[in-house]
Amino acid sequence: MAISTQIARAQRLGSKLRDARWRRQFDARAIAAESDSGRRLQREVLSRLHWSSLLLSRVQVSASAPRRVTMLLPELRPSAVFAGIDTALKVSAGLAARLGLPLRLVSIGNEIDAKSLEGLLADIRGRLVQDVELEVVGRESLDGLEINTDDYWVATFWTTAHALSSAAKLGLISRSRVVYLVQDYEPGFVAWSTEFALARATYHADFTLVVNSSPLAAYLEANENLSLSPELVFRPQIDLRETAPAKSSAGLTILFYGRPSKPRNLYGLGVAALQEVASVVDEWQEDVRFISAGEAHTPIELTSKSRLQSVGRLSWDEYFELLSEVDVVLSLQHSPHPSHPPFDALVRGTQAVTNELGGTRGQLSDLLTAAEPRPASLAAGVVAALERVRAGDSIEPDLAVLSRLGAELSDVLDAAVEELQAAQERGGFESL
């Protein structure tokens, strides 16, 4: 094993140990601070459920504190503001602007020092359309964080929703003032366990659910017996930048969204499917290129004639330039989160093949093949898509697919504010 790999593993282990120690110490302070024996026992029980259970138990509630919209994030680091966090920032800033309140971002998973804060603030402000007053703090602020009884809250990952649900149990916040931004079916991220049950429970915590995409909403309704308002389901933010058509008649190109380190992207299954595709197209007169993008990996020999070549992780400009050159996109996602590559392809008139999941994808577009997650089924979908290109079929961009994915985010945020107001009329704080 390389020394650099050993060092990286040791650093990760050290970080996990520091996190565990910080959480134990925080829970101990949260429990010791409660003088009432019954409530102290309640906190002890909550602390055994999950490390996030008591993270909001040390807040200081004050009617004189400035009112805010506070969004909780599982972590926030300068080098890790990816698509899910970017969407969460747009949602929370949009709510803050509509409510006329400043926005506070709290990372419950890491501290934020002065050096990191400077970079984060610049990055976040560059992403926001709304001009809102912004504050960013790390978990170190949770001990004594000042909140107003009339604050609004935005939950993101399920651990943040669980922390807010526990705070509501303790009588510190009102469930009617919480928006839960749901971007995936997150019980699927953990084993069948207490965590799995807690993650599921967050969908039933009486928060206002705002859901990223209609396929995810359909999956939640089917698997959690929820009734979700279409007005609170928004479409993914698909980039519609124009790129010059670059497809040539010299051969065919398949783009595989290959990320070996992300289990939900079914990398091994995709490679197996492409091997079956290669065994078919090797007999064709046209040359067929197999390209993988998303994460670097070694070249893979599919057959004696065909090789899957990785171009690694690309910049946005490089990605869209490559997309303009391909004929079929194979992009797998074994969770109901709206993965972008298939839709990036469809709106540009490129066919895409993905895996079906709970019947949520098959009817979205004539350009999208949703096959069962088996090598033969996926391979058949890719080959059929290539055959359409070979036959010269007219394939036009499908912009209508966007409306099938949900409403405009701005309209959903308007509806969310109305739902918050209605929720407050229906209920208040829990009694202990």
Whether 27 is covered by a domain: the verdict is: no
Residue 53 neighbours by CB under 8 Å, 6+ apart: 46, 47, 162, 163, 166
Q: Say yes or no: 90 and 223 in one domain.
A: yes
Written as six digits, the tokens of 175 are: 């469930």
Whether 26 is covered by a domain: the verdict is: no
Residue 229 neighbours by CB under 8 Å, 6+ apart: 415, 419
* Residues of the chain above pLDDT 70, percent: 96
Question: Which residues form the domain of 82?
Answer: 38-235+412-426
Whether 25 is covered by a domain: the verdict is: no
CA distance 377 to 277: 10
Q: Say yes or no: 80 and 136 in one domain.
A: yes
Q: Say yes or no: 229 and 354 in one domain.
A: no
Whether 24 is covered by a domain: the verdict is: no
CATH number at residue 296: 3.40.50.2000
Q: Say yes or no: 367 and 304 in one domain.
A: yes
Tens of pLDDT, residue by residue over 110-148, are 999 888 888 888 888 888 877 899 999 999 999 999 999
Tens of pLDDT, residue by residue over 330-349, are 999 999 998 999 999 999 99
Q: Say yes or no: 59 and 172 in one domain.
A: yes
Q: Say yes or no: 338 and 222 in one domain.
A: no
Query: What total number of domains does the chain contain?
Result: 2
Whether 28 is covered by a domain: the verdict is: no
β-partners of residue 87 are none
Task: Give me the pLDDT at residue 293, please.
Answer: 97
Q: Say yes or no: 134 and 258 in one domain.
A: no
pTM assigned to the model: 0.92
Q: Say yes or no: 46 and 195 in one domain.
A: yes
Q: Say yes or no: 347 and 417 in one domain.
A: no
Tens of pLDDT, residue by residue over 358-415, are 999 999 999 999 999 999 999 999 999 999 999 998 899 999 999 999 999 999 999 9
Written as six digits, the tokens of 345 are: 């392809």
CATH number at residue 97: 3.40.50.11090
Virtual CA dihedral for 414, 416, 418, 424, nearest 10 degrees? -150
Q: Say yes or no: 260 and 325 in one domain.
A: yes
